[in-house]
């Protein structure tokens, strides 16, 4: 029971990170030393959902019992608390200070690109080609849509709800990808603003559809992503880095922040925006350094424990 309040607190910090495009809640989990427990719980839960989608009720129940609920439920409670309490602040910043806020987001994404590049085990022409191809395609495709604001996406019609469903399915998969932010993927798809608005407006229909997308995505895609990372790690990571590079078009601060994919020359406020961008890079790199140290410390502790047996 003593662990529960600390797990809720860790979840709150993770949820806070997940709200910011470019910052991965998985990195925070790594810093806290709970990343592997989280991944194990997600995989077990995704297998349970897979059994349910196949109609295997017995397998579904068996997998559910294997989930570490005493850890997962408090963690999720902390994440949801952060999302509900802090989403209003971020929406306010996007609406009232779009250029500086986008500058901070751009720095966070740039830092994530650096971190993800360091995660590549093989940096050869094939991976570089994959990276550049995905970056170019992403940059060009994002230029085809006018923006990522709520008015661009549209009202809560069937197409909008379908976008919420797909956004949930894709964003949830970022939880099992090292260094990839679910919020950043929502920005790329033009759903970041609308999802924040749905949370702040307590739009039950949109939130339920988004949650259903998360459930289906967890059940269908997480195993595919796990297989792809296990068998084609460098190629997948190179593609993800290309996605992040190409998507800088979304978080480029000028002319109107994330509300436009147009590219303008820097204009006032320039220096404050650039300083926030630099701060974003530093934050991500600092989290990565801390997370790496915690990972090495955990590995050292496990090795010491094994030797003592």
Count Cβ atoms within 10 A of the Cβ of residue 257 and give its class: 0-12 exposed, 13-18 middle, 19 or more buried.
buried
Q: What is the pLDDT of residue 147?
A: 45
- For residue 34, pLDDT over 90 is answered with no
- Other CB atoms within a 10 A radius of the CB of residue 119 amount to 14
pLDDT in tens, 87-136: 888 888 888 888 998 898 888 888 878 887 887 888 888 899 999 999 99
Of 8-12, 109-113, 244-248, where does the model show the most confidence?
Answer: 8-12
Backbone angles phi, psi at 252, to 5 degrees: -60, 125
pLDDT in tens, 127-185: 999 999 999 998 888 776 554 444 443 444 444 888 999 999 888 877 666 556 788 78
Choose among 157, 151, 187: nearest CA to 170. Answer: 187
User: Measuring CA to CA, how many Å separate 183 from each of 100, 180, 299?
Assistant: 18, 9, 30
The rounded distance, in Å, linking the Cα atoms of 24 and 183 is 9
Pair of tokens at residue 77: 């409670």
- Supply angle C-alpha 245, 246, 249, rounded to 5: 105
Count Cβ atoms within 10 A of the Cβ of residue 95 and give its class: 0-12 exposed, 13-18 middle, 19 or more buried.
middle
pTM, full prediction: 0.67
């Amino acid at each position: 029971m003593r662990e529960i309040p600390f797990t809720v607190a860790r979840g709150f910090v993770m949820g806070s990170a997940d709200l910011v495009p470019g910052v991965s809640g998985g990195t925070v989990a790594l810093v806290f030393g709970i990343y592997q427990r989280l991944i194990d719980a997600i995989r077990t839960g995704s297998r349970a959902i897979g059994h349910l989608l196949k109609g295997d009720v017995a397998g579904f129940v068996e997998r559910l019992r294997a989930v570490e609920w005493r850890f997962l439920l408090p963690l999720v409670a902390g994440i949801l608390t952060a999302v509900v309490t802090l989403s209003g602040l971020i929406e306010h910043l996007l609406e009232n200070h779009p250029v500086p806020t986008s500058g901070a987001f751009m720095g966070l994404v740039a830092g994530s690109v650096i971190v993800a590049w360091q995660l590549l085990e093989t940096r050869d022409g094939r991976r570089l080609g994959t990276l550049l191809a995905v970056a170019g395609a992403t940059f060009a495709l994002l230029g085809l849509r006018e923006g990522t604001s709520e008015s661009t996406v549209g009202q809560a019609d069937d197409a909008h709800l379908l976008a919420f469903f797909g956004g949930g399915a894709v964003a949830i998969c970022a939880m099992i990808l090292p260094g990839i932010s679910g919020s950043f993927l929502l920005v790329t798809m033009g759903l970041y603003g609308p999802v924040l608005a749905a949370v702040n407006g307590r739009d039950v229909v949109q939130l339920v559809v988004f949650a259903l997308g998360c459930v289906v995505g967890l059940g269908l895609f997480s195993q595919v992503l796990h297989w792809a990372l296990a068998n084609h790690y460098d190629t997948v990571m190179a593609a993800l880095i290309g996605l992040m590079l190409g998507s800088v078009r979304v978080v480029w601060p000028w002319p109107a922040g994330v509300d436009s994919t147009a590219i303008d020359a820097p204009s006032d406020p320039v220096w404050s925006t650039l300083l926030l961008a630099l701060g974003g890079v530093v934050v991500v790199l600092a989290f990565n350094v801390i997370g790496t140290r915690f990972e090495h410390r955990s590995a050292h502790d496990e090795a010491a424990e094994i030797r003592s047996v």
